[in-house]
Amino acid sequence: MTVMEQRGAYRPTPPPAWRPRTNPAPLLPDARPYRVLGTEAAADVDPALLRRLYAELVRGRRYNTQATALTKQGRLAVYPSSTGQEACEVAAALVLKERDWLFPSYRDTLAAVARGLDPVQALTLLRGDWHTGYDPHEHRIAPLCTPLATQLPHAVGLAHAARLKGDDVVALALVGDGGTSEGDFHEALNFAAVWQSPVVFLVQNNGFAISVPLAKQTAAPSLAHKAVGYGMPGRLVDGNDAAAVHQVLGEAVAHARAGGGPTLVEAVTYRIDAHTNADDATRYRGADEVETWRAHDPIALLEHELTERGLLDEDGVRAARDAAETMAADLRERMNQDPVLDPMDLFAHVYAEPTPQLREQEALLRAELAAEQEGAHR
Ligand SMILES: Cc1ncc(C[n+]2csc(CCOP(=O)(O)OP(=O)(O)O)c2C)c(N)n1
């Protein structure tokens, strides 16, 4: 048969039946960030939870101001403040059960402290003293992660392993808006959705990745919309509304625990302070913008709700502030003590089997320290 004859015999046929693998409609986030405080939904929230959230927010704000002050006194090398983002930090900690795991970024010391980590230990890494500063297994808090988004595949790996072992464990991973542009974000969400891992991703969209505004970070309708492309639900929530974040994260954690797979939650919030104490935020954003967000402050929102409903009075406010002051005084005092450090610790726990280069560097430092000691004794 000639080629032309073969072609003549061909009858174009439609493609095999196609339908979407999952219905995208239920995965789509709300059109607006979900809110509870100041809406009818607030009446359904347990007053004890609202009070607990309030006490933790007040303590968290004080922790942020105290840690920032410690950088000015040279007691802390650097501090990325989460002032303005306390509702996300606290809600993330409170929705987890003891057996669950938290995967924080460098900005999430507060989440770690709200989960019960010692406030000084939470600052060890930022003081530059030691690796991590706490035992991640003891607290079920992964190391505060400085390389952007690398905590996300770790969270998926842990959640997937837990599921394979039949352990009833959920992992909650925190990431910033800038972190969503990292390859690790894509890989983590893709694996999590394909494996239906019990993991929840909380993106704290605080408006900026250092000086880069969200508009330069993504063209997506919202960061929550990214979930649909991976085949998981996306939820959009007011990140300054502690009750709303607690509810949305709580639902996502329960969904993951019940075998429903991962959820991507975008909390819309704002970083009131500069990126860190080393950053000058006035170079890339105006004071008006900051003031607009100050008016939507997470503590003020909750305080208003509680006082309107007669759940908080002057004494209650004072008690929360006093408790925060006690925590700050203790943090100050303990951070003002010089830690006793062994520089050789730098090489411990880096690899299970140290590399030849690491051994070489270890020997060099040991020799240097020995020479220094000898000089001191001469
Ligand atoms: C892989 C990687 N690239 C770059 C950096 C430098 N860096 C540190 S913080 C930051 C901005 C991150 O912004 P975002 O994810 O929005 O989190 P935020 O600091 O606002 O909480 C960058 C680029 C880094 N730490 N890791």
Per residue in 168-199, pLDDT (tens digit) is 999 999 999 999 999 999 999 999 999 999 99
DSSP annotation of 34: B
**Other C-beta atoms lying within 10 Å of the C-beta of residue 370:** 10
**Other C-beta atoms lying within 10 Å of the C-beta of residue 111:** 32
Residues 172 and 69 in one domain: yes
In which order are the strands placed within the sheet that holds 199-205?
A: 101-103, 171-176, 199-205, 263-268, 234-238
Position 353 in a domain: yes
Closest to 242 (Cα-Cα) out of 112, 81, 58: 58
Residues 357 and 262 in one domain: no
Q: Percentage of the chain surpassing pLDDT 70?
A: 99
| Higher-confidence position of 377 and 353 | 353
Give 1's pLDDT tier (boundaries 50, 70, 90): low
Position 360 in a domain: yes
Residues 266 and 365 in one domain: no
Q: What is the mean pLDDT of residues 122-130?
A: 89
Residues 326 and 216 in one domain: yes
* 226 vs 230: CA distance, rounded Å: 7
- The mean predicted confidence, pLDDT, of the chain is 95
∠ CA(364), CA(369), CA(375), 5° rounding? 125
Position 257 in a domain: yes
Range of the domain at 200: 25-276+285-335
Query: Ligand 1 within 6 A of 178 CB?
Result: yes
Q: Model confidence over 35-48: pLDDT tens digits?
A: 999 999 999 999 99
Position 16 in a domain: no
Residue 21, pLDDT score = 87
Residue nearest to atom 19 of ligand 1 (CA): 209
Residues 178 and 260 in one domain: yes
Q: Percentage of the chain surpassing pLDDT 90?
A: 88
Closest to 115 (Cα-Cα) out of 164, 156, 60, 169: 60
Query: Ligand 1 within 6 A of 278 CB?
Result: no
Residues 31 and 56 in one domain: yes
Looking at the predicted structure, is the pLDDT value of residue 350 above 90? no
Mutate to test the pocket of ligand 1, among 210, 217, 223 (most ligand atoms within 8 A of CB): 210
Looking at the predicted structure, is the pLDDT value of residue 343 above 80? yes
Position 55 in a domain: yes
Query: Ligand 1 within 6 A of 179 CB?
Result: yes
Query: Ligand 1 within 6 A of 147 CB?
Result: yes
Residue nearest to atom 17 of ligand 1 (CA): 176
User: What domain count does the chain have?
Assistant: 2
Residue 377, pLDDT score = 74
Residue 348, pLDDT score = 85
Q: Model confidence over 134-146: pLDDT tens digits?
A: 999 999 999 999 9
Residues 251 and 208 in one domain: yes
Position 305 in a domain: yes
Q: Model confidence over 270-281: pLDDT tens digits?
A: 999 999 999 999
* 18 vs 15: CA distance, rounded Å: 8
Residues 108 and 133 in one domain: yes
Residue 349, pLDDT score = 79
pTM: 0.94
Residues 259 and 353 in one domain: no
Q: Phi, psi at residue 38, to the nearest 5°? A: 80, 5
